[in-house]
Amino acid sequence: MKRLIKKLLSLSLFFLLLVSSSLAQGLPTAEPEEVGLSAERLSRIEKVMKDYVTQKKIPGVVALIARKGKVAYLKSFGMMDIKVGKPMRNDTIFRIASMSKSITCTAAMILHEEGHFLLNDQLSRYIPEFKNPMVLASKLKDNPEQVETVPAKGPIRIKHLFTHTSGIGYAFNDSKLLPIYRKAGVPDGAVAIDSTIGEKMKILAGLPLAHHPGEAVEYGLSIDVLGYLVEVVSGMTLDKFFKERIFKPLRMKDACFFLPEEKRERLASLYEPTKAAGLKKYPDGMVERGTFKFSPSFPYEGPKTYFSGGAGLCSTVSDYACYAQMLLNGGKLEGVRLLSRKSIEFMTINQVGDLSSPGFGLGYGLQVITDLANSGSIGSNGIYSHLGIFYTSFWVDPKEEMIGIMLAQIYPWGDLDLIGKFRVLANQAIID
Instruction: Annotate 235-278 with DSSP letters as a single string.
Output: SS-HHHHHIIIIITTTT-SS-BSS--GGGGGGBPPPEEEETTTE
SS3 label, residue 322: helix
pLDDT of residue 143: 53
SS3 label, residue 70: strand
What is the rounded CA–CA span in Å between residue 65 and residue 315?
A: 16
Name the pLDDT band for 139 (thresholds 50, 70, 90). low
What is the rounded CA–CA span in Å between residue 30 and residue 161?
A: 39
pLDDT at 12 > cutoff 50? no
CA 45 and chain centroid, separation: 23
- Side-chain half-sphere of 256: how many Cα atoms within 13 Å? 15
What is the rounded CA–CA span in Å between residue 10 and residue 8?
A: 5
Cβ(338)–Cβ(332) under 8 Å? Answer: yes
- DSSP letters spanning 148-168: -EEE-SSPPBHHHHHTT-SS-
CA-based torsion, 415, 416, 418, 419: positive or negative: negative
What is the average pLDDT value for the chain, to the nearest integer? 93
**Pairing mode, strands 336-337 and 360-362:** unpaired
pLDDT at 366 > cutoff 50? yes
Lowest mean pLDDT among 21-35, 253-267, 299-313: 21-35
Q: In terms of Cα–Cα distance, which of 319, 213, 199 is closest to 263?
A: 319
What is the rounded CA–CA span in Å between residue 101 and residue 220?
A: 10
pLDDT of residue 14: 38
pLDDT at 123 > cutoff 80? yes
Cβ(193)–Cβ(302) under 8 Å? Answer: yes
What is the rounded CA–CA span in Å between residue 281 and residue 266?
A: 16
pTM over 0.85: yes
On the question of a cis peptide bond just before residue 133, with omega within 30 degrees of 0, the verdict is: no
Q: Is 378 left (phi over 0), alpha (psi -120 to 50) or beta?
A: beta
Q: What is the mean pLDDT of residues 355-380?
A: 94
Q: Rg of the chain over CA atoms, in angstroms?
A: 22
Residues spanned by CATH 3.40.710.10 within the chain? 29-99+243-427, 103-236
pLDDT at 354 > cutoff 80? yes
Q: In terms of Cα–Cα distance, which of 408, 426, 431 is closest to 71?
A: 426
Q: What is the mean pLDDT of residues 65-89?
A: 98
pLDDT of residue 276: 86
What is the rounded CA–CA span in Å between residue 376 and residue 360?
A: 11
Q: Is residue 13 within a helix (H) or strand (E), and if so which, with residue range?
A: helix 2-24
pLDDT at 18 > cutoff 80? no
pLDDT of residue 252: 98
363 Cβ neighbours under 8 A, 6+ residues apart: 163, 347, 348, 349, 350, 351, 384
Q: 86 - beta bridge partners?
A: 81
* Cα Dmax for the chain: 87
**Pairing mode, strands 360-362 and 367-369:** antiparallel
pLDDT of residue 203: 98
What is the rounded CA–CA span in Å between residue 187 and residue 193?
A: 9
327 Cβ neighbours under 8 A, 6+ residues apart: 102, 106, 344, 347, 348, 384, 396
> Which CATH code for domain 29-99+243-427?
3.40.710.10
Name the pLDDT band for 145 (thresholds 50, 70, 90). low
SS3 label, residue 11: helix
Which CATH number among 3.20.20.140, 3.20.20.450, 3.40.710.10, 3.40.640.10 corresponds to the domain 103-236?
A: 3.40.710.10
Q: What is the DSSP letter of 208?
A: P
According to the 3-state scheme, what is the secondary structure of 368-397?
EECCHHHHCCCCCCCCEEEEECCCEEEEEE
pLDDT at 91 > cutoff 50? yes
Backbone angles phi, psi at 329, to 5 degrees: -80, 5
Q: What is the mean pLDDT of residues 359-376?
A: 95
Cβ(51)–Cβ(392) under 8 Å? Answer: no
Q: What is the mean pLDDT of residues 355-371?
A: 95
Name the pLDDT band for 414 (thresholds 50, 70, 90). very high
- DSSP letters spanning 154-207: SPPBHHHHHTT-SS---TTT-TTTHHHHHHHT---SS---SS-HHHHHHHHHTS
Q: What is the mean pLDDT of residues 21-34?
A: 78
Cβ(156)–Cβ(232) under 8 Å? Answer: no
What percentage of the chain has pLDDT greater than the value 90? 88
pLDDT at 9 > cutoff 80? no
Residue range 159-202, pLDDT digits in tens: 999 999 999 999 998 888 999 999 999 999 999 999 999 999 99
